[in-house]
Amino acid sequence: MRSRSPLLVLLALLMTVVSGLALPSIATAAPPQGTVAGATLDWGIKESFRRYVTGPIAHGSTTLLGTTTGTYTWVGGTGEAATDGSAADVSFGAGNGVHFRGHPMNGVDALDLAFTNPRVHVTSSGAADLYLDVQGREFAGTTEVGETFTLSGVHFATVALPAATVEGSTITWANAPTTLTEAGAQAFGGFYPAGTALDPLTLSVPISAPATATTTSLNASTDSAEAGETVTLTAAVAPAEAAGAVAFSTDAGPLAAPVAVHDGTAVLTTDALPEGTNVISATFTPADAAAFLASTSAPVTVTVEPIQTDPDPVWEPQISVFLADGVTPVGDREVFAGDTLVVKGAGFDPAANVGGRGVPIPNTLPQGTYAVFGHFAQDWRPSEGAAATARKTGSQGWVLTEDTVEQIPPMFQQAVREQWVPLSGEGEFTWTVKLAAPKETVDGGRYGIYTYPGGGVKNADQELAVPLNYQGKRPPSVAVTDGDDAVSTVKAGDTIRFAASDLDPGQSVRFEVHSDPLVVGTVAASDAGAADVEWTVPASFPAGQHEVRVLAADESAAAEPLARQSFTVLAVDRCLQLGAELRWGVRASFRQYLAGPIAHGSTTLLGATTQASDGRFVWSTGAGKADTEGRDVDVAFGEGHGVHFRGHAMPGGHALDLAFTNPRVVVTSATTAQLRLDVKGREFVDTSSVGTTFERSDVHFADLALSAPSVSGTTRTWSDAVATLTADGAAAFGGFYRPGEELDPVTFSVTTRGEVNCDDITGPTTGRGETPTPSNGNAGDGGQVAPVATSAPAGASQKCVARRATGGSLDWGLKESFRTYVEGPIAKGSFSGGSFSATGGAINPDASGIGRANFSGTLSATGHDGKLNFSLSNPSVQITGPTSAVLYAQVKATNTKGESAVNGTVAFANLSFNRLAVDENSLSVSGASATLTGSGAQAFAGFYAAGTPLDPVSFSVSLGGEVPCDSSTDPSLPKTGADVDASMLALAALTMLAGAAVLARRRRVLVHD
């Protein structure tokens, strides 16, 4: 089959637009209110056409297809509709329709059209659209047979709906006028123009509105209750307007009669739930089953327990003894005078022990319980008749309830409170005791914690004992500290303190360090029994384990020490001390963007950082270390030393504001290293607002790929290491670049300055303030300049000069298929412009014509009733080499919905050409290939993807007088294509609005090429 005619291509395109753009609005509309089944459509298409087909000229025929009958009736239509007829979408089935044939020749027909699968889309109470599938042959004339074609879903006619008649649930529109559309005229083979009246149609639509679903949820006021306790069950029915009743039930049956629903809620309050587990559900039954459906809730469980009666408490006294933390049982650990223990008691009846002596507690009140630390005989219990002499007490507490203490006569109450240990109503107490031994002991007795009734009352249940491994006075001890905390390891040069405790007050003691006996000092203990001395570990002191000993001052070194404590002297690590230099330009394209016409930015050097003539920044005051074999290089360049980038100035600051300081290079293997930075600045939001400030330290900014270093004397240099941005680096860079993108290469060198203790190595000096860069790229004393050098380095033999662009022109049609689309039957718009006049710039004819030429003028396009607007004005061409250039332009564009896509200056296209014609007086390029950039694709409102070919570009400029080179004309500076830094160029573009997804779909549909 030969290629489709332009007419059918346009028709197919229009059908795609209609089906791809118009119909999805139905899918996203509110859900239909009813369903349609058994609809009928009566429509004769056009009476005059029927007569022509069967008349003496066409000698044709009409064939009914599928279930179609008469002239012509379709039955069995299905779809959806609003019950009031304000909207409907009804289809009558593929294959059902009528087939017209005429002008037979050679076994085929020149007129061959089948209209099937009618679909009526009611868009309002007075309007509808008629869609058809059309299949047949292109009508080429009465003497020629055209190619076959198939079109689906053709918007064939518009329908003016009269007032509808309603009978029951069926809505009928009778004799509705129909008018041929543009798409219908094309599908009709051009027999009639758009706007021709077709036969009226009659549409009858039976609508069934389903009952509304309901939901019922159930909530119980509690999930656990005692028998006879009131439980409230609340059922919520949605929608709230559903009238009816709710039955609350369990597996055993209903709990009560159904409860009527009021405002979506039914409540049952019951105290008759049986004991056990009750699984309850709520079932809603609608009053009008035709309007609403029934629903049942998820079950809820309410457990009903038998009524509980509190048993009489059983008092079983017991005690436990813990160390001072109140958690660790004391067990058989040694304890000493002055130690703190925690005694916890439970099961002591608060009402017990009434009676006794009556003083100091009246004998009508509970006398409480004594809790003591003492030395008791084997037979010590008062209930067994043991005398008081069997119990020698030291520390003592009196366990009483607060109610009892409050009733003690005032004259005795204070004395009791001094020993009082509170007893709770549950019979529990906690006594924190500092051990103080009794002045006397009992023969054959033992130390421990004891309890027994107070006031002379006898109660064997409360006579309890926990023996203690009491050792009396604590022996002296000595600790090794750094002045605050205990340490176990030290190094030569450390100053430490030996602190002895639990000595006799005023005792003279001597501190010695062993195994290399060394007397540190002799001091007298304080009144608290403490003594300490300070000692600095000598540089020559041997590494290994040692011991500090505390001896009586008059004892020999061989005597048993009063106390001893071991510690370890560690060997001192040795390192190579390094000086370092770093050369790195961050990213050349970023510096160019910052100094360009979009960001209008600046670069400021900080601290001792300088900038070389090639644009790289230089840190020369680095310091660090490596191991004695020269491995594990770690060098840093100091806080405050670095570079500060600013751009997009506005009130309140700069939208782009980043300072990179204190770079650090950490070599991790023979081929890898990390570049780390401190980053301070503002979060980048967009080009029209100032973000919040942030500060991040020691960011793992880039990974470096190292080659073998060059060696000169004691200096090693790694040159041009490839630097790859990390994820942390990308975040700190404000998101301008993606992780994995290459930055400028890194060169760094380290110089060995000798071997020292690793801890003695100090870092680089801290920078102070900012050092702006003058125009020659070296550190200066004021002013700010572009981030790359703008003149030849000092000592250069020839000054870089360029020639001013004084005249010329640029001719460009943007893209032919876009112009065709804009001016075609879909967009119905216009396209103008494409010739531009040179207005300035500069070109370097001695450097293959690199430079920039600026032009004035505008090309514009509009369509879709003014919703699509595109203007490209004042383009400039940045020539980056003998065969390449970038075309920048001011672009303002909206998409086909009228939503703004971009409004600003962007790098629109990359240009390439075989030859640049340049001499001392002129430069010209003819027919340069142009491809759309990423930012250009955004500016083009998403019609085309990045990389799409555009129309060729031709331009020429006349060259005038000499001007100094700048960043666009200096051959020593790197030049890149637009998409090398599309993220930077896109900063000038506004963010695409929510319509971007629609435009992406449209781009797939509207194939202009």
Phi and psi angles of residue 272, each rounded to the nearest 5 degrees, phi first: -110, 15
Q: Is the pLDDT of residue 616 over 90?
A: yes
The Cα angle at residue 312 between residues 310 and 317, in degrees rounded to 5: 125
pLDDT tens for each residue of 136-146: 988 888 888 88
Phi and psi angles of residue 627, each rounded to the nearest 5 degrees, phi first: -70, 175
Helix (H) or strand (E) holding 751: strand 746-757
Cα dihedral 706/710/712/713 (nearest 10): 60
Strand ranges (E), 668-714: 672-682, 693-705, 710-712
Average confidence (pLDDT) over 111-125: 95
Q: Is the pLDDT of residue 512 over 70?
A: yes
What is the pLDDT, as a whole number, of residue 219?
A: 96
Q: Is the pLDDT of residue 734 over 50?
A: yes
| Res. 31 pLDDT band, cuts 50 70 90 | low
What is the pLDDT, as a whole number, of residue 1006?
A: 28
| Res. 23 pLDDT band, cuts 50 70 90 | very low
Please report which residue ranges of 181-241 form alpha helices under DSSP H: 182-187
- Which residue has 């000798």 as its token pair? 754
Beta bridge partners of 803: 843, 962
Which of 899, 987, 1001 lies closest to 943 in space, CA to CA?
Answer: 1001
Task: Find the distance separating the first CA and the last CA of the chain, reported in whole Å.
Answer: 21
Whether 451 and 320 have beta carbons less than 8 Å apart is answered as no
Beta bridge partners of 278: 302
Compute the distance between CA of residue 43 and CA of residue 98 in angstroms, rounded to an integer: 11
Q: Is the pLDDT of residue 796 over 70?
A: no
Which of 598, 651, 586 lies closest to 987 in space, CA to CA?
Answer: 598
Compute the distance between CA of residue 562 and CA of residue 475 in angstroms, rounded to an integer: 8
Average confidence (pLDDT) over 947-955: 94
Compute the distance between CA of residue 691 and CA of residue 682 in angstroms, rounded to an integer: 5
What is the pLDDT, as a whole number, of residue 295?
A: 95
What is the pLDDT, as a whole number, of residue 763?
A: 59
pLDDT tens for each residue of 418-435: 999 999 999 999 999 999
Q: How far is CA 36 from the centre of its chain?
A: 47
Share of the chain above pLDDT 70, in %: 89
| Res. 539 pLDDT band, cuts 50 70 90 | confident
| Res. 540 pLDDT band, cuts 50 70 90 | confident
Which of 850, 808, 819 lies closest to 951 in space, CA to CA?
Answer: 819
Per-chain mean pLDDT for the chain:
86
What is the pLDDT, as a whole number, of residue 973?
A: 52
| Res. 939 pLDDT band, cuts 50 70 90 | confident
Helix (H) or strand (E) holding 535: strand 531-536
Q: What is the 3-state secondary structure (H, E, C) of 720-734?
A: EEEEEECHHHHHHCC
DSSP string over 933-950: -HHHHHHTTTSS-TT-EE
Compute the distance between CA of residue 772 and CA of residue 611 in angstroms, rounded to an integer: 10
Strand ranges (E), 293-390: 295-296, 300-305, 318-322, 334-335, 340-346, 369-376
Phi and psi angles of residue 558, each rounded to the nearest 5 degrees, phi first: -85, -10
Whether 831 and 819 have beta carbons less than 8 Å apart is answered as yes
Q: Is the pLDDT of residue 195 over 90?
A: yes
DSSP string over 385-442: T--GGGEEEEEEEEEE-HHHHHTS-HHHHHHHHTTEEE--TTS-EEEEEE----SS--
Q: What is the largest CA-CA distance in the chain?
A: 147
Joined tokens for residue 976: 């890149």
What is the pLDDT, as a whole number, of residue 1008?
A: 29
Average confidence (pLDDT) over 799-803: 79
Sign of CA dihedral 875, 877, 883, 884: negative
In a 13 Å sphere around the CA of 118, the CA atoms on its Cβ side amount to 30
Joined tokens for residue 785: 């300049």
**Helix, strand, or coil here: 22?**
helix
Compute the distance between CA of residue 317 and CA of residue 453 in angstroms, rounded to an integer: 12
Whether 269 and 230 have beta carbons less than 8 Å apart is answered as yes
Average confidence (pLDDT) over 909-935: 88
Whole-structure pTM value:
0.35
Which of 481, 496, 487, 486 lies closest to 536 in space, CA to CA?
Answer: 496
Compute the distance between CA of residue 639 and CA of residue 698 in angstroms, rounded to an integer: 11
Which of 280, 455, 298 lies closest to 363 in space, CA to CA?
Answer: 455
Compute the distance between CA of residue 942 and CA of residue 894 in angstroms, rounded to an integer: 10
Higher pLDDT, 728 or 970: 728
Query: With 0-12 CB in 10 A as exposed, 13-18 as middle and 19+ as buried, what is 215?
Result: middle
What is the pLDDT, as a whole number, of residue 9?
A: 35
Average confidence (pLDDT) over 532-542: 89
DSSP 529: S
Sign of CA dihedral 616, 619, 624, 630: positive
Name every residue whose Cβ is closer than 8 Å to that of residue 485 and which is 6 or more positions away in sequence: none
**Which of 636-645, 780-789, 807-816 has the lowest average pLDDT?**
780-789
Which of 710, 654, 645, 709 lies closest to 677 in space, CA to CA?
Answer: 645
Joined tokens for residue 422: 């509170």
Which of 529, 523, 472, 521 lies closest to 501 in space, CA to CA?
Answer: 529
Compute the distance between CA of residue 120 and CA of residue 203 in angstroms, rounded to an integer: 9
Whether 281 and 296 have beta carbons less than 8 Å apart is answered as yes
Compute the distance between CA of residue 498 and CA of residue 519 in angstroms, rounded to an integer: 12
pLDDT tens for each residue of 357-405: 999 999 999 999 999 999 999 999 999 999 999 999 999 999 999 999 9
Whether 884 and 1003 have beta carbons less than 8 Å apart is answered as no
What is the pLDDT, as a whole number, of residue 798?
A: 55
Name every residue whose Cβ is closer than 8 Å to that of residue 725 and which is 6 or more positions away in sequence: 701, 702, 733, 737, 738, 739, 740, 741, 742, 743
Angstrom CA distances, 261 to 243, 291, 300, 570, 852, stand at: 6, 16, 19, 83, 80
Please report which residue ranges of 727-880 form alpha helices under DSSP H: 727-732, 816-823
pLDDT tens for each residue of 435-481: 999 999 999 999 999 999 999 999 999 999 999 999 999 999 999 99
Whether 176 and 203 have beta carbons less than 8 Å apart is answered as yes
Angstrom CA distances, 551 to 483, 502, 705, stand at: 22, 13, 62
| Residue 417 Rama label (left phi>0; alpha psi -120 to 50; beta) | alpha
What is the pLDDT, as a whole number, of residue 1007?
A: 28
Compute the distance between CA of residue 621 and CA of residue 636 in angstroms, rounded to an integer: 9
**Helix, strand, or coil here: 531?**
strand
Joined tokens for residue 678: 């401190």
Phi and psi angles of residue 314, each rounded to the nearest 5 degrees, phi first: -105, 115
Strand ranges (E), 243-390: 244-250, 253-254, 259-260, 265-270, 276-286, 295-296, 300-305, 318-322, 334-335, 340-346, 369-376
Compute the distance between CA of residue 926 and CA of residue 954 in angstroms, rounded to an integer: 4
